[in-house]
Structure 1
Amino acid sequence: MDVKTGFFYLFSLVLLFAAFRVITARNPVHAVLYLMLAFSQASAVWLLLQAEFLAIVLVLVYLGAVMVLFLFVVMMLDLNMDSLRQGFWKHFPLAALVGVVIALEMAYVLMGGFREMPVASMSAAVAQVSNTKALGILLYTEYLYPVQIAAVILVVAMIAAIALTLRARKDTKFVAVSDQIHVKAGDRMKLVKVDATQPAPPPAPPAASEAAPVAPGEKKA
């Protein structure tokens, strides 16, 4: 066994362990961290298979953006795991059946694809041209329209997310972005000059309707 094969088995074992811990970890934060470990090991396996573009995309997109977002969301939600685990064993048989079906379908597709192309011809095809260059040529020639449609869909989704965030709602406080941009310092705070010491105000004179004190033994008029 050469060094490349040894690294492949090492990355694969760590990947399987991390994937198993993702679904068995009791703490959701630990599950997200294990998922990040699984993605990093999958990226290393793709590098060994000379799929460097997919490996870099996995690190940049999933580890650099999506998983960090998941981690912050999970930490901010403060999930109650006791309520989430209710009814787990009730739905476990159906979930296990679906998982077995998906695993068998993936195994059938993968083994069928490996049988169609021998390893020798696959290695020769990879050695002819760079993986990234071949993928780019394929995307922007044969799959040009699907790539453009996917880009338009992503742009529309981004604009919709921004519009939903900036909309005025009755149950929340809303400030127009244009008002925030055109605001001036004088509108925010006004300085008033006040003397450090001021004379005490004179005592107020007694009211005319106020009755005078009555001496003992005298009657009121």
Structure 2
Amino acid sequence: MAISFTTICFYLFSAILVFAGLRVITARNPVHAVLYLVLAFFTSGMIWMLMQAEFLAIAIILIYVGAVMVLFLFVVMMLDINVEKMREGFWRYLPVGLVVATIMVAEMAMVLNGRYFRLESLPAPQAVDVAYSNAQNLARVIFTDYAYPFELASLILLVAMIAAVALTYRRREGIRRIDPSAQIAVKAKDRLVIHSIPAEKEEIVAESTGDVAK
């Protein structure tokens, strides 16, 4: 049985994705974990590209790798997380983590064993028109059937961005800051101050005339 180049790429990218996912949760350095997560997202985009889902591949690379993960990386680096202090409570939170992980695995098993994921229940592949567009159909589904979940996801991302800014905001002494409220409260007449300076032209002329006479 001949193995195609696409199949080789799929298994190669899948192996890299599994390795990157494991390193995300096993890396000791938080910055290294974020970088491995970037690799996992990028590899997922390559797998979607192999599945001819170009829009999703480009979206995960531009949005998650190019924006979200860069934001996470900056947050992790600016927070200066004390890894040793975090490890002190590992065994204390381990039982709760195991319970949550067990529930997640059970839910995934229930979904994957459902009738929607059985091979015999899948319809036969149909011929696709040459003018078929994944992006157009995906946009139609997102902004019609899933409009509210899409807006909710954007709201969650907005809250995450505000939380990241709030966590990294620290007051430091010796740094000049701009107060927007004070700038707005300034009136036009307070911005320009005209001082009346008496003319000294006659005195200057008299002094210069006296110097010439001398």
Shorter-chain TM-score: which interval? 0.5 to 0.7
Cα deviations across residues 60-93 of structure 1 (Å, max 9, x unaligned)?
1111111101111111121110110112123223
Partner deviation per Cα, 1:175-211 (whole Å, 9 max, x = no partner): 236738999x999xxxxxxxxxxxxxxxxxxxxxxxx
Say which of 50, 74, 84 aligns to 1:72: 74
The structure carrying a bigger helix percent of its residues is 2
RMSD of aligned alpha carbons? 3.9
1:149/1:82 CA distance change after superposition, 3 Å: closer
Distance 1:153 1:50, change over 3 A: same
List gaps (5 residues or longer) in structure 1: 165-171, 188-221
Answering whether residue 137 of structure 2 is matched by residue 134 of structure 1, we say yes
Task: Report matched runs for 1:72-221 at 5 Å.
Answer: 72-112=74-114, 113-115=116-118, 121=124, 123-124=125-126, 127-128=128-129, 129-144=132-147, 146=148, 150=152, 153=155, 175-176=179-180, 179=183
Structure 1 Cα separation of the partners of residues 33 and 16 of structure 2: 15
Structure 2 vs 1, CA of residues 2 and 85 (structure 1 numbering), >3 Å: closer, same or farther?
same
Instruction: Name stretches of at least 5 consecutive residues in structure 2 with no aligned partner.
Output: 167-174, 194-214
Q: Does 1:43 align with 2:37?
A: no
- In the superposition, the TM-score normalised over structure 1's length comes to 0.63
- SS of the residue 1:124 aligns to: coil
**TM-score after normalising by structure 2:** 0.65
In the superposition, relative to structure 1, how do residues 178 and 141 fare at CA in structure 2: closer, same or farther (>3 Å)?
Answer: same
How many Å apart are 1:156 and its aligned residue?
A: 8.7
Distance in 2 between residues matched to 1:155 and 1:97, nearest whole Å: 27
Larger-Rg structure: 1
- The separation in 1 between residues aligned to 2:32 and 2:78, in whole angstroms, is 14
Equivalent of residue 55 in structure 1, options 51, 54, 57: 57
Q: Structure 1 residue 117: deviation in Å? A: 7.1
Task: Work out the number of aligned pairs and report it.
Answer: 175
* Greater shift in the superposed pair: 46-55 or 3-12: 46-55
Distance verdict in 2 for CA 1:119–1:50, change over 3 Å: farther
Q: Percentage identity across aligned positions?
A: 44
